Amino acid sequence: MENTAASFGNELTTSLQRYFATSIRGSVDDLFPYSAAELLDEASRSPILRQQSAQLGDPECRVVGTLFAKRYSVFVMGLFAAISLFDTPLAASPEIVRFRVTSAGAMAYETEFEDSPRMSTWHHEERRVKLVDYVLQLQSHLQHIFAAISASTGASIKVMWSLVSHNLRNLYTRLEADESLWRTTERLRLILADRDVLFEPTSGNVFAVKLHLFEHPEWQGAPLLLRGHCCLAYKIQHGSESHGYCISCPQLRPEERLAMLLA
């Protein structure tokens, strides 16, 4: 039993670090110097945003703010992967979450296990109720952070939510498609049920953003969800070259997107 628990824990922590730049706190160290709560205070928020801006080549402020949300969505994806794959809620409170700025404005994150039991895999209504509560708490935390980032950069909060929702939908699209991740039909059922809760079109659910699939007669590859809003990465300059549009950017024409997909 101990070996099984250890294996489970190792798989969870390895997956979080590899795919979502997220670590589980083991001891106090200096690897993650910032608390997410510092983003709520202008005095402590400003130097963080200046550091990210410098790494991005000092673009206009709203670019930095918009890309902050896109970067932070990596952590948000990790939170839901921990639940849907491992039934393990992680703490999302700004007072607990810590991070560091890495490169190109990206971040690595650190959090803790929530002080609560793992999500049930057999009491389906209990799992749904707990997940609804978790989603509401997370959205409240993000709302405060995004409002603070918007106040400093002028970035659109609506666009921030849209970028997070897009990445979350892509996460669940990958989870559903990759049998090596769900392994059993019961795990797949849990993933799909969690997905339905997360994107339920209820009043106030900011994750329930309507997105469209890319459709083209010459594209027969994997499904591609298009973003509802541009992340503004094309405004970033790398020397004499710009970043260009992302493959899921709504500003691309169908033939341009197809050419990128087929390249």
Could you tell me if residue 37 is left (phi over 0), alpha (psi between -120 and 50 degrees) or otherwise beta?
alpha
Tokens coding 74: 């990596």
pLDDT tier at 3 (50, 70, 90 boundaries)? very low
CA distance 76 to 74: 5
Tokens coding 202: 């209820």
Strand partners, 98: 35, 110
The mean pLDDT of 170-190, rounded to a whole number, is 92
**The CATH number of the domain covering residues in 19-209:** 1.10.510
How high does pLDDT run on average in the chain?
A: 93
Say what the pLDDT of residue 2 is: 45
Residues 76 and 134: beta-carbon distance below 8 Å: no
Could you tell me if residue 252 is left (phi over 0), alpha (psi between -120 and 50 degrees) or otherwise beta?
beta
- pLDDT, one tens digit per residue, over 27-58 is 666 899 999 999 999 999 999 999 999 999 99
Q: Mean pLDDT: which of 5-14, 64-73, 201-210 is highest?
A: 64-73
Q: What is the pTM of this model?
A: 0.94
Strand partners, 262: none
Torsion of CA 191, 174, 196, 225, to 10 degrees: 180
Say what the pLDDT of residue 10 is: 87
- The helix/strand/coil state of 206 is coil
